[in-house]
Amino acid sequence: KVSYTAASIGDAINIVMDNAGAGAQALVISSAVAHTSPTVSITTVGGAGGDAVSIASTSASATGGCLKIVETGAVASNLIGLSYGGAHTGDAINILMTNAAAGAQGIVFSSAVAHTSPNVSLTSANGATSTLYMSNGSTDAAGHGINILQHGAGANNAINIGYDAASTGDAIKVVMTNAAATANCIDLTSAAAPTVPLINITSTGGDEGVVFQVASTASHAHGNVVEITESGTVANSLIALAYGGASIGDAVTITMNGAAAASQAVTIASNVAHTGNLVDVSSTAWVGADGAAIVGITHATGVFAHANASCLNITYSGNGAANGLGTCLRVVDNGGTASAYGVYIASATGEA
């Protein structure tokens, strides 16, 4: 037992091992007793810069760590257990790597065990703060905030998010208010020929549950809400819609109640000498309902504001081929009966 009776600045125990052998140890504690109290206990009132334990190492060896703990028993105890006995505002672990080498890492986990529990587990009580917070100050293109390298050909997910209650928060929320104009929210690159969708969304639906929604306030002429560029020469469709059941909903619905007067619902521009139809509608089903059509155009209310306004306007300004069979409109009826019309016009004005 060592006791101080005055404010001595000397060490209670000072061990100098400058001339000791490489295998010599300064302090060895060995016990075969199942202790119910700490083998080594340190109690301090703290102070400005007064660490309870301070370790300084000048070792240049790759295996000469400052602190090493080896657990040889198959027990459920923690190798390191930290607990707060009061409303302490300090960090449990604070790693400062200001002077570390560029290749040094703050924490490294290596495991060869097929774990049945997480390598790192964070459990947080309710509060107006994040469970995990990262601030990345790197300006290098490779200095990612989070970088995940998936090893092996397993079926596990690189990132998996699950809800155990009816939380109203978002699974992933990205706020890019201060990001550069060229920054992407999500950048997905695939070098393989996938046999499944790169992005797969499965929803049970609902009265108000939109599966995919994009809301844009862009005012730039090129600020498209969705833009798809096909650079390959494959036969796949850029957009393919398929019904797997007897859904009564429309495949595509465009509502333009608040659009500008000059805006258009669909615009097709092409400089290719097409050998097929730019717009192709094919149906093998019998159209039997009254007034039903393969393509229907209805202007139900209001009047046209100009004499040249039409439900359908076809303008051809090119040079038609000799003996052309309908540069603006061609109707071929191969299945009509003797009493059927290839083209039928009913006009309330008496003029066709």
Give residue-wise pLDDT tens across range 177-205.
999 888 889 998 887 778 888 888 888 76
Amino acid identity of residue 3, one-letter, is: S
Residues 50-61 have pLDDT tens digits of 778 888 877 777
Separation of alpha carbons 241 and 206, rounded Å: 20
Q: How large is the average pLDDT for residues 112-128?
A: 82
CA angle at 62 for the pair 56 and 64, rounded to the nearest 5°: 40
Determine the length of the chain.
Answer: 352
Return the pLDDT at 62.
66
Residue 177 half-sphere exposure, CB side, CA atoms within 13 Å? 2
pLDDT band at 160 (very low <50, low <70, confident <90, very high): very high
Separation of alpha carbons 209 and 199, rounded Å: 19
Tokens of 221: 């002429």
More confident residue, 234 or 19: 19
Q: Do 256 and 246 form a contact (C-beta atoms < 8 A)?
A: no
Reported pTM: 0.70
Amino acid identity of residue 95, one-letter, is: I
Tell whether the torsion through CA atoms of 205, 194, 214 and 132 is positive or negative.
positive
Mean of pLDDT over the chain: 84
Separation of alpha carbons 81 and 75, rounded Å: 14
Q: How large is the average pLDDT for residues 252-260?
A: 89
Separation of alpha carbons 254 and 86, rounded Å: 60
Return the pLDDT at 266.
92
pLDDT band at 206 (very low <50, low <70, confident <90, very high): low
pLDDT band at 30 (very low <50, low <70, confident <90, very high): confident
- How many CB atoms lie under 10 A from the CB of residue 320? 11
Lowest mean pLDDT, pick from 23-32, 138-147, 160-169, 270-279 = 138-147
3-state secondary structure of 228: coil
Separation of alpha carbons 329 and 316, rounded Å: 10
Q: How large is the average pLDDT for residues 308-329?
A: 84
Separation of alpha carbons 179 and 187, rounded Å: 14
pLDDT band at 33 (very low <50, low <70, confident <90, very high): confident
